[in-house]
Amino acid sequence: MRLNKYIAQAGIASRRKADELIINGNVKINGLPVKELGTDVKEGDVVEVNGRRIEAEGKKVYIALNKPLGYVTTSSDDKDRATVLDLVADIPERIFPVGRLDYNTSGLLILTNDGDFAYRLTHPKHHVYKTYRAVVQGQLSNERIARLRKGVDIGGFVTSPAIVNVIKQQERKALVEILIYEGKNRQVRKMFNAVGNKVLELERIAIGDVRLGRMMEGHYRKLTREEIEYLKNV
């Protein structure tokens, strides 16, 4: 990015004023004064104006990934397992996952470099419901469903009311859709454990109204403008 644009995007001055700052020797890149107007700022460069470090507002990116099983949702793993960032390696911006999905959970994971956006989606006060499809062991009785809906103790924490619908009950397992807006570690698994049904498979199919859809596992897409606006205001 051109140095004058970088300074303007950092909110220091207009591009024209930025040019003046450059010509007058008020700008340094990586500690060295720069007086050339056409200078480019590269990734990792430290830019100072009048001795103060500045940072341009980078381009914001918003990605929806269909996380496969067997990937960790961190940037580096001490056991050297594959991470979700490996699946979005061709995105140049430094994006990070919004919230977490377990190693053994698949489905919709949003990644972004927009910290405010990430905070909004993960903080329970905003009540952004995440929809999970779970295959659970055994029968899910009405009494158990009622407990899940009301809130269960998952070890020192009582969950907020959940939306629970059994899609299919078979003899030995059930397919259930559950919506929660909190994101405690392994929350859905712990909730089903609390009522006596082990989770066999878990997939997140939506965050708010943003749905996973038919995207293949390991693939990603950019969120649409409408989805971004919706999630910023949900």
Question: Does 133 engage in binding with ligand URA (CB under 6 A)?
Answer: no
Tell me if 174 sits within 8 A of 139, measured CB to CB: yes
- The nearer residue to ligand URA, 60 or 184, going by C-beta atoms, is 184
Contact map string, positions 173 to 212, toward ligand URA, x by CB under 6 A: -------------xxxx------------x----------
Q: Which of 19, 48, 93, 102 binds ligand URA (CB under 6 A)?
A: 102
Residue 202 CB, nearest approach to ligand URA (Å): 6
Residues 199, 106: Cα–Cα separation, whole Å: 13
Contact map string, positions 3 to 32, toward ligand URA, x by CB under 6 A: ------------------------------
Catalytic residue among 90, 102, 153, 209: 102
- The nearer residue to ligand URA, 27 or 134, going by C-beta atoms, is 134
To the query of whether residue 78 is one of the catalytic residues in this protein, the response is no
Question: Does 101 engage in binding with ligand URA (CB under 6 A)?
Answer: yes
Q: How many residues in total does the chain contain?
A: 234
* Contacting positions for ligand URA (CB under 6 A): 101-102, 105, 186-189, 202
Catalytic positions: 102
